[in-house]
Amino acid sequence: MTQSLEQELKSLVIDALGLEDITPDDIENTAPLFGDGLGLDSVDALELGLALQKRYKITIDPETRNMRDHFSSIANLAAFIRNQQAA
């Protein structure tokens, strides 16, 4: 059985950011990753961006419109990666 992109992303977030005591099942697809949600900050965003670029061979341009929206949840991140890979 292949793992869904959303499940892969949850594992990547946990591994890349060294989040302890959290499993992929603890992260809702639509829950906020920053602020009140998972509590990530701007440093986490940079580390996560680098991990995504390396893992999925995508380019993340900080000038991209709505980049904050793309990184707001696992569901949005998955959609962003799918769009980048299709381009």
pTM of the model: 0.90
pLDDT at 59: 87
Q: Which residues, 6+ apart, have CB-to-CB distance to 46 below 8 Å?
A: none
pLDDT tens by residue, the chain, 87 residues? 457 999 999 999 999 999 999 999 999 999 999 988 899 998 999 999 999 999 999 988 877 778 889 999 999 999 999 998 887
pLDDT at 24: 96
pLDDT at 17: 95
Interatomic CA distance for residues 9 and 52, integer angstroms: 9
Walk me through the domains of the chain, giving residue ranges and CATH numbers: 5-86 (1.10.1200.10)
pLDDT at 64: 73
Query: 64, 54 in Cβ contact below 8 A?
Result: no
Helix ranges, the chain (H): 5-17, 42-56, 67-70, 74-86
